[in-house]
Structure 1
Amino acid sequence: MARDVQLTFDCADPAALAAFWAGALGYRVQAPPAGFDSWDQALDAMGVPPEKRNDASAVIDPDGAGLRIFFQRVPEGKQVKNRLHLDVRAAPGLQGDARMAALEAEAERLTTLGASRIRRYEPAPPLGAGHIVMADPEGNEFCLD
């Protein structure tokens, strides 16, 4: 039986991290429920106090093909390296210098959105195509692959 899968990030600022990942992946912040023009309007109707309105956010693939990504506020900060990370496939089908140039261009774009660069791994054929390790604005590692 097929299951819906959602990826969840624990974080300090769900709205900011949702905005980053929406820009990084070409996703969009999930719209408020039907009948509401804004999340503030929906949260007012639900009785959510202002100080709790950034406790969660989500982004979705506008084409409906990708995973929903959910961001939830937690009190503790990130402590150690991720045991699970995203690979952002920024250079599918490319190899060698063309691949690394495409990854560099994407790394530069993501840096302007708030990501930081951690390390570049050079191609090492036959199995290593080369990639760049990055971190989102809250330090969660991901790879440009």
Structure 2
Amino acid sequence: MASVKQIQVTFDCAEPQRVARFWCEVLGYVAPPPPEGFATWEDFDRTQPPEDRGSWFACSDPSGVGPRLYFQRVPEGKVVKNRLHLDVRVGTGLVGEERLAVLEAECARLVALGAVRVQLLLADEDNESCIVMQDIEGNEFCLD
């Protein structure tokens, strides 16, 4: 029997630290401390070759349960819909108006952080309501 593997979710983006800090706020994740010997990540970056400065950043679940998120700079911008997206589970176990109220409150909080609301998908016979959103660089995710 194969063992369960830990995963890391990697985002291609233009501004890794900015996008990572957005997702820290969304998920309650934390950025790691800077490498030993450096007071800040900016101090560390200044020691890197110019082309490597700000090229990556990471954050993790402080409880150790969720996957690490890794953000890497890529030269090209996002041009099509994601083939993979995150569902941010804020309405688990809730239905109807109670679920919608929780989704809308979280949507408002994330819009204030720079996210974009795309579409409310109302419940049908197979699925509960969710809100399709985009992060600060246009990556789709759902409030579920």
Q: Show CA shifts across 1:84-115 (max 9, x none).
A: 00000011111110001100000000000110
- The answer to whether the aligner puts 1:117 opposite 2:117 as a matched pair is yes
Separation in 2, partners of 1:89, 1:137: 19
Instruction: Return the letter of the residue paired with 1:53.
Output: R
Alpha-carbon distance in structure 2 between the residues aligned to 1:31 and 1:113:
23
Q: Distance in 2 between matches of 1:97 and 1:142?
A: 21
CA RMSD, 1 decimal: 1.5
Q: Which runs of 5+ in 2 are unaligned?
A: none
Residue aligning to 1:22: 24
Deviation, 1:43, is 4.2
Q: Is the 8 A contact 2:45 2:54 kept in 1?
A: no
Equivalence for 2:83: 83
Alignment deviations for residues 44-85 of structure 1 (CA, whole Å, 9 cap, x no partner)? 5xx413553211001111111111000000000001000100
Aligned to 1:107: 107
TM-superposed deviation, 1:34: 3.9
Distance (Å, rounded) in 1 between the aligned partners of 2:85 and 2:62: 22
Count of residue correspondences: 142
- Partner letter of residue 137 of structure 2? E
Identity rate, percent: 51
Distance 1:14 1:72 in 2: 6
Following the alignment from structure 2 to structure 1, what is the Cα–Cα distance between the partners of residues 111 and 42? 30
Distance 2:40 2:19 in 1: 19
* Amino acid aligned to 2:59: V
Distance 2:51 2:112 in 1: 29
Distance 1:32 1:2 in 2: 30
Q: 1:43 to 1:13 in 2, by over 3 A?
A: closer
Q: Which residue of 2 aligns with 1:33?
A: 35
Corresponding position of 2:132: 133
Q: Which residue is 1:94 aligned to?
A: 94
Question: Which stretches in structure 1 are left out of the alignment for 5+ residues?
Answer: none
